[in-house]
Amino acid sequence: MSLEIIGITVLWTFLFGYILIGAIDFGAGFFNAYSLLTGKKHILTNIIQRYLSPVWEVTNVFLVFFFVGIIGFFPKTAFYYGTTLLVPVSIGIILLAIRGSYYAFETYGSRGHKGYSFMYGLSGLLLPASLSIVLTISEGGFVEMVDGNPVLDYWLLFTSPLTWSIVVLSIAATLYISAVFLTWYANKARYFEAANLLRKYALIWALPTIITAGGIIFELRRHNPEHYANIQNFWPMFLISFIMFIGTVWLLWIRRNYGLAFILLAGQFIFAFFGYGASHYPYLLYPYLTIYDSFTNPAMAISLIVVFIMGLGLLIPSLYLLMRLFLFDKDYVRGKSKHHA
Amino acid sequence: MGNEEAVFFSRVLTETTLSFHIIYATIGVGVPLMIMIAQWVGIKKNDEHYILLARRWARGFIITVAVGVVTGTAIGLQLSLLWPNFMELAGNVIALPLFMETFAFFFEAIFLGIYLYTWDRFENQKKHLLLLIPVAIGASFSAVFITMVNAFMNAPRGFDIVNGELININPLVAMFNPAMPTKVAHVVVTAYMTAAFVLAAIAAFRLLKGSNHEYHKKALYLTMKIGLIFAIATAVIGDFSGKYLAEYQPEKLAAAEWHFETEGNAPLIMYGVLDDGEVKYAIKIPYALSILAHSIPSAEVIGLDQFPEDEIPPLYIHYLFDIMVTIGVWMVLLAAVFWIGTKRRWKMVTTRWFRWLIVLGGPLSIIAIEAGWWLAEVGRQPWVLRKIMRTQDAATTSGHVDTMLVLFCLLYLILGIGSVVILRRMFRKNPVEQEIEDRNMEKGGDML
């Protein structure tokens, strides 16, 4: 396995980590705000905050890790994506900033402030949309080289059905992932009312998620035939992903084993995400940038990988400790006592 | 928008983001150490007040961390968005500490989450103290690694450029460049100092505003003592920084000191104004610049005459230097007087006006941090990578930087006001007297 492949696999894994736990986080914020609006606050707020509070900061690190890592392993991405993404990513940063700080303001500063909760919920819904633009652009066709500098064609971007399908998918998937996870978490915490409500949300969002995901593959046939052809080569991964999706929905439907349902959901997205990533190979930005011509020098690559392995040695036990103390601790999950500062 | 405008707005936006971020980042680096010390003193002295101090600081700290994290994410992304050419080159050489910083940040984030939610979970406070160690280490090491990146911009090393190609890249040499030791030490120590003085200002303010509780007095004494130690350390390292500049970046020192001609027995110019190339109303301290630069009164100090005009940084950085040094020296004096005065029971240190001076010390320290960073960054102009890449060649070619600048200014305004409002409300609604009473009642309840 070449260093380039190791590099992109590491980064893709962290991006997946961000998408999964970020989706839980974004969706939770939205459901929280929605429950305020529909007068169901008493059902959801407690359970959502108990999960989010100790981990909200960790979620953010996955994103930082990804964008720092990609500059490290593939410095040329700074040139191509940095120039073209100024507007969409800046909007993403602003949403992220409002979200992160208003979460802290609401949770630790003034409990139950409605304005803060709405800002938090709304920004969480817009964020996946603003960040998913990057995926659209990577498919090629929206960036043109003018005098040796990449320029993004906004008109083409915003009129493309591919853009909007990816936006819809990101929102639907966010709400779906979040609802499935929270169903399991609420059930574990014995908040059965919350679990039932979230189960309903999960089932509602399952269909749009799978329809748009399929639709995107179809649209790629017109937009980027090469990528579409590659996807065909990975059809077993997408098939496994679809079977897992059916499994999750089935378990939710018969109200059994929500833990397994969430594991299947994670599996569904792992197979789809890595299948998509593998079929995108070798392009980072079609057709200008491949992982080979943008890869960093060997000295840097090796030192980054060494640091990465040492860093994981620290992180994995720490993350395990965090999960044991909060996610899998019965007393904490069930809210037996107040522990926070 | 032409390229010149894009460069200008990129610079303004970067400066705005960093200037806003470092307020929260400095607190973020310094306060965990203060919490740790308070917790430790509380355990050692078996004094509830210090434990409560740690707890209340931790509560306020969450708000500043939140703003620090989100603005840190902003600057992290803006580096690539606004300076794509720079990041493409730097990514090849200096990505290692950048990458390590995310691990330090990760580490801190995990343990901060655990620390905040395990306050009443452990019988033994010592176990809880152990959780703070990775938080403080993570916070300080983020500062160490990110400052290494900045030091690299001042003293790029660890690669050769042959025909426009980067070769012989050595990430460790890039990390441990000559600017690194003084920069890192100065940044970390001033963060500790500033955090201590900001917390001291809060304690002094509460004492002025009616509360005369033992808790605030203990807080004040502890933070002023820590502040004094780090303020002295800051001055010592500041001197080393001067010597570093004289050796490796003489144009920055010369511009900061308005040292126009290369000469020995160089005097140090304090204050004054520059009027048509002439220095007026300045205080000249004979030989001081030679001593600052080389520890020898007669040593020759390189002046601005040795550099082409287009490689000289703006001369207004002298004012920034004055602000930074004056505040630094002032805080050493103030903290020393307070410490000696408390030991010897001088009346003066408990007077209202003296406490007002301590209150003022908090914002002053933050102003010094800002002035110091502006000095360091503007003093590096016109280079983004000294002697390798000019700032104007590093900026984005996008035409939307001005709009983004407006958006981000609005964002920082909202975050700034929001965090202040929340912090005030948090502590107003729950003064320490109330909290001590509540805790005593809870404990009484436990015994029944």
pLDDT category, A186, cuts 50, 70, 90?
confident
User: 3-class DSSP state for residue B114?
Assistant: helix
User: Which residue of B67, B92, B117 is in closest CB contact with A326?
Assistant: B117
- Å between B32 CA and nearest CA of chain A: 14
Tokens of residue B397, six digits: 């070619």
Average pLDDT over residues A258-284: 87
A97 and B71: CB-CB below 8 Å? yes
User: Which residue of B67, B87, B425 is in closest CB contact with A101?
Assistant: B67
pLDDT category, A280, cuts 50, 70, 90?
confident
| pLDDT, tens only, A316-340 | 888 888 878 777 777 777 766 565 6
A90 and B404: CB-CB below 8 Å? yes
**CA B345 distance to own-chain centroid:** 33
Say which amino acid occupies A266: A
pLDDT category, A193, cuts 50, 70, 90?
confident
Q: Give the pLDDT score at A6.
A: 86
Alpha helices in B261-394 (DSSP H): 288-294, 317-343, 352-378, 391-394
Q: The pTM is what?
A: 0.89
> Given CB atoms, is A17 within the 8 Å cutoff of chain B?
no
Closest CA to B187 of B239, B135, B147, B138: B147
Q: Give the pLDDT score at B445.
A: 53
Positive or negative CA dihedral for A292, A295, A300, A304? negative
* Contact predicate B396/B83, CB 8 Å: yes
**Three-state DSSP string of B237-260:** HHHHHHHHHHHHCHHHHHHHCCCC
Residues of chain B with pLDDT under 50: 447-448
B107 and A318: CB-CB below 8 Å? yes
| pLDDT, tens only, B181-211 | 999 999 999 999 999 999 999 999 988 887 7
Burial pattern B403-432, b for ≥16 Cβ within 10 A else e, equals: ebbebbeebbebbeebbeebbeebbeeebb
Q: Give the pLDDT score at A319.
A: 80
Q: Give the pLDDT score at A206.
A: 83
A71 and B102: CB-CB below 8 Å? no
CA dist list (Å): B366 to A34, B27, B48:
40, 9, 30
| Mean pLDDT, chain A, integer | 83
Q: Give the pLDDT score at B37.
A: 94
A75 and B88: CB-CB below 8 Å? yes
Q: Which CATH number fits domain A3-333: 1.20.1630.10, 2.20.28.10, 3.40.50.2300, 3.40.720.10?
A: 1.20.1630.10
| pLDDT, tens only, A292-305 | 887 878 888 888 88
Tokens of residue A53, six digits: 């509070």
Instruction: Answer whether residue A246 shows pLDDT above 80.
Output: yes
Centre a 10 Å sphere on the Cβ of residue A232 and count the other Cβ atoms it contains.
11
In sequence order, which residues have a C-beta less than 8 Å from that of residue B218 and are 6 or more positions away? Answer: B47, B49, B50, B53
- Partnered with residue A290 across adjacent β-strands are A283
End-to-end C-alpha distance for chain B, whole angstroms:
74
Domain layout of chain A by residue ranges: 3-333
Peptide bond before residue B382 is cis, with ω within 30 degrees of 0:
yes
pLDDT category, A132, cuts 50, 70, 90?
confident
B411 and A76: CB-CB below 8 Å? no
* Contact predicate B133/B115, CB 8 Å: no
Peptide bond before residue B297 is cis, with ω within 30 degrees of 0:
no
Radius of gyration of chain A (CA): 20
Q: Give the pLDDT score at A341.
A: 62
> Given CB atoms, is A94 within the 8 Å cutoff of chain B?
yes
In sequence order, which residues have a C-beta less than 8 Å from that of residue A40 and are 6 or more positions away? Answer: A197
* Contact predicate B22/B370, CB 8 Å: yes
Q: Give the pLDDT score at B447.
A: 45
> Given CB atoms, is B91 within the 8 Å cutoff of chain A?
yes
Peptide bond before residue A75 is cis, with ω within 30 degrees of 0:
no
* Contact predicate A78/B84, CB 8 Å: yes
Question: Greater confidence, A283 or B340?
Answer: B340
* Contact predicate B288/B244, CB 8 Å: no
Rounded to an integer, what distance in angstroms lies between the CA atom of residue B288 and that of residue B285?
6
Q: Give the pLDDT score at A338.
A: 61
Rounded to an integer, what distance in angstroms lies between the CA atom of residue A240 and that of residue A253?
20
Instruction: Answer whether residue A129 shows pLDDT above 80.
Output: yes
Q: Give the pLDDT score at A11.
A: 86
Say which amino acid occupies A181: F
DSSP annotation of A337 reads S
Say which amino acid occupies A5: I
User: 3-class DSSP state for residue A260?
Assistant: helix
Instruction: Answer whether residue A124 shows pLDDT above 70.
Output: yes
Q: Give the pLDDT score at A294.
A: 78
